[in-house]
């Protein structure tokens, strides 16, 4: 049996977590379950970003949906998920306090930028919400954007708004499901730096799914999904060419 030690700060921990898929039907209904991958044990410390890589269809995004509590009915999940010493496996989405950022920004087209951000805020008076939103936009280099229509924004601006909305919900952990993949290379690099800076500042344990090795943070841990993995056997990938990728921050 796997034993746990109490965590310090915001930590995300997977203990022998695995997914299984029905053999013959979209639902389990008594059918023999087929394992999607070897059980995964993983500890992510505050501000750390662990990268999950693997071929399309190996279950990376499905795993993220399991972590937030939105696993499709065609799958089952076993094992344990801990966040700050709370076991989450049987909790609904809204009680897990895990944020997620997708490929698409998923902004509400009928709402202004400010209203999109307000959607993530806990109940508060209007003045307080406006102050929080304006400060977040200023910190992201988007001062004065609160009344803008999302349709008037560039791809990079929309991406930043989407990240701000995720962070304003005050998650205790963050999942990144290829959030950089739809951006062009220069924009992708600058937005990636912005995202990683925000994660470190907030001290959020983060799990990143990507197909692009350039997305791997410096000295970050990498899991090749679909292979037997365990915390003690993770390869730590130090990317020697990181120095060649250093650039000054750009506006997005």
Return the higher-pLDDT residue of 218 and 252.
218
* Per-residue confidence (pLDDT) for residue 183, from 0 to 100: 86
* Per-residue confidence (pLDDT) for residue 221, from 0 to 100: 92
- Looking at domain 1-97+171-252, its CATH superfamily turns out to be P-loop containing nucleotide triphosphate hydrolases (3.40.50.300)
* Per-residue confidence (pLDDT) for residue 35, from 0 to 100: 54
CB-based contacts of 101, cutoff 8 Å, min separation 6: 162, 163, 166, 174, 175, 176, 177, 179, 195
Task: Identify which of 72-86, 147-161, 228-242 has the greatest average pLDDT.
Answer: 147-161
* Per-residue confidence (pLDDT) for residue 6, from 0 to 100: 46
Q: What does DSSP assign to residue 143?
A: T
Question: In this structure, what token pair is assigned to residue 40?
Answer: 């995964």
* Per-residue confidence (pLDDT) for residue 250, from 0 to 100: 29
* Per-residue confidence (pLDDT) for residue 138, from 0 to 100: 95
Q: Is pLDDT of 128 > 70? A: yes
Share of the chain above pLDDT 70, in %: 79
CB 15 within 8 A of CB 41: yes
* Per-residue confidence (pLDDT) for residue 127, from 0 to 100: 93
pLDDT digits (tens, 9 = 90+) for 50-65: 999 887 777 788 889 9
Share of the chain above pLDDT 90, in %: 52
CB 132: neighbour CB atoms within 10 A? 17
The domain spans of the chain are 1-97+171-252, 108-170
What pTM value is reported for the model?
A: 0.79
pLDDT digits (tens, 9 = 90+) for 72-83: 888 888 899 999
Return the higher-pLDDT residue of 244 and 121.
121
The Cα-based distances of 248 to 115, 186, 193, 215, 245 in angstroms read: 32, 11, 10, 17, 10
200: enclosing H helix or E strand: helix 185-202
- Largest Cα–Cα distance of the chain, in whole Å? 56
* Per-residue confidence (pLDDT) for residue 37, from 0 to 100: 62
Q: Is pLDDT of 144 > 70? A: yes
State the number of CA atoms in the 13 A half-sphere of 247 facing the CB.
Answer: 14
* Per-residue confidence (pLDDT) for residue 38, from 0 to 100: 67
CB 29: neighbour CB atoms within 10 A? 8
Intra-chain end-to-end CA distance of the chain, in Å: 48
Q: Is pLDDT of 252 > 80? A: no
Mean pLDDT of 180-200: 89
């Amino acid at each position: 049996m796997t034993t746990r030690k109490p965590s310090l700060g915001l930590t995300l921990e997977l203990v022998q977590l695995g997914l299984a898929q029905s053999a013959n039907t979209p639902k389990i209904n008594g059918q023999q379950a087929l394992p999607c991958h070897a059980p995964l044990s993983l500890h992510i410390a505050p501000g750390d970003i662990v990268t999950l890589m693997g071929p399309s269809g190996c279950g990376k995004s499905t795993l993220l949906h399991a972590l937030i509590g939105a696993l499709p009915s065609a799958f089952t999940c076993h094992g344990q998920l801990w966040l700050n010493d709370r076991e989450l496996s049987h909790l609904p989405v809204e009680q897990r306090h895990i944020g997620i950022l997708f490929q698409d920004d998923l902004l509400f087209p009928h709402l202004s930028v400010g209203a999109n951000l307000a959607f993530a805020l806990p109940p508060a008076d209007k003045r307080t919400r406006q102050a929080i939103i304006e400060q977040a936009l200023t910190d992201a280099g988007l001062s004065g954007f609160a009344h803008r229509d999302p349709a008037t924004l560039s791809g990079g601006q929309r991406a930043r708004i989407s990240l701000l909305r995720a962070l304003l919900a005050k998650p205790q952990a963050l999942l990144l499901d290829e959030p950089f993949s739809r951006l062009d290379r220069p924009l992708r690099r600058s937005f990636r730096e912005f995202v990683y800076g925000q994660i470190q500042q907030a001290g959020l344990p983060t799990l990143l799914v990507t197909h692009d090795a350039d997305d791997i943070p410096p000295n970050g841990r990498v899991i090749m999904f679909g292979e037997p993995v365990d915390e003690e056997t993770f390869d730590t990938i130090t990317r020697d060419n990181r120095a060649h990728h250093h650039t000054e921050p750009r506006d997005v």
